[in-house]
């Protein structure tokens, strides 16, 4: 069951590493509460951050399952115990199958380190530099079965300088990720996002 419109939304976050975007959600009032943080890696540093904040955590290794669909089914079952209104992929380094995506359709978002639809997938900063782009950035989007092609909620751009390396560019982009992810989550929790095909329209704030 989802929370009534007048209640704060229940947010689940999935991570695979340090969880800096998850931490950004915890630092900001996003209109909802992070109720659980899950990972496919038991040693993900972000799980310690969540535990220190008093948030429930779990880890399910994809290596324990015969295929992606079986892992995704286990992940869905684990998340459903917390009845999330929104699931946020915040550096979750797994390609998810329709088993997972369809279970949370319309309430599953991802933060991606490029200005989609440019540079979907991995190694985005290296590819941006190799292609000589002058602007790079990050995207928050709804997740659909097609990788990194869901409706775009928010984007932020950074300038690519001649002296940039993949590491310096990643640091620039990460700063922007920490800003637009909480913003996008708040829009969702406030019920202000309307999806029309691949376009996302932002409704005015209530009373605005």
- What ranges in the chain are assigned the alpha helix state H? 20-27, 45-52, 68-80, 98-101, 124-131, 166-189
Catalytic residue flag (residue 178): no
- Show Cβ contacts of residue 87 under 8 Å, excluding neighbours closer than 6 positions: 11, 12, 13, 14, 79, 104, 107, 108, 109
* Catalytic residue (choose from 62, 112, 136, 141): 112
β-sheet bridge partners, residue 5: none
Alpha-carbon span 5 to 197, nearest angstrom: 24
Q: Do the beta carbons of residue 181 and residue 140 sit within 8 Å?
A: yes
Q: Hey, CA dihedral for 24, 28, 30, 35, is it positive or negative?
A: positive
Q: Token digits for 45?
A: 């540093």
Place of tokens 């797994």: 94
Alpha-carbon span 199 to 154, nearest angstrom: 11
Give the residue numbers annotated as catalytic, written as ranges: 112
């Amino acid at each position: 069951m989802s929370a009534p419109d007048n209640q704060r939304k229940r947010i689940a976050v999935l991570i695979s590493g340090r969880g800096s975007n998850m931490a950004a959600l915890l630092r900001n009032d996003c209109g909802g509460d992070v109720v659980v943080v899950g990972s496919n890696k038991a040693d993900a540093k972000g799980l310690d951050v969540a535990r220190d904040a008093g948030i429930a955590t779990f880890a399910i290794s994809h290596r324990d399952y015969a295929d992606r669909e079986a892992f995704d089914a286990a992940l869905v079952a684990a998340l459903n115990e917390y009845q999330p209104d929104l699931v946020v992929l915040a550096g979750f380094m797994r390609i998810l199958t329709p088993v997972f995506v369809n279970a949370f359709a319309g309430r599953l978002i991802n933060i991606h380190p490029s200005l989609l639809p440019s540079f979907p997938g991995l190694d985005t900063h290296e590819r941006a530099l190799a292609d000589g782009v002058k602007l790079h950035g990050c995207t928050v989007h709804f997740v659909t079965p097609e990788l990194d092609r869901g409706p775009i909620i928010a984007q932020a751009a950074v300038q690519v300088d001649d002296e940039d390396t993949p590491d310096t560019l990643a640091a620039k982009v990460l700063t922007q990720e920490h800003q637009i992810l909480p913003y996008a989550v708040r829009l969702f929790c406030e019920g202000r996002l309307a999806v029309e095909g691949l376009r996302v329209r932002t409704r005015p704030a209530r009373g605005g």
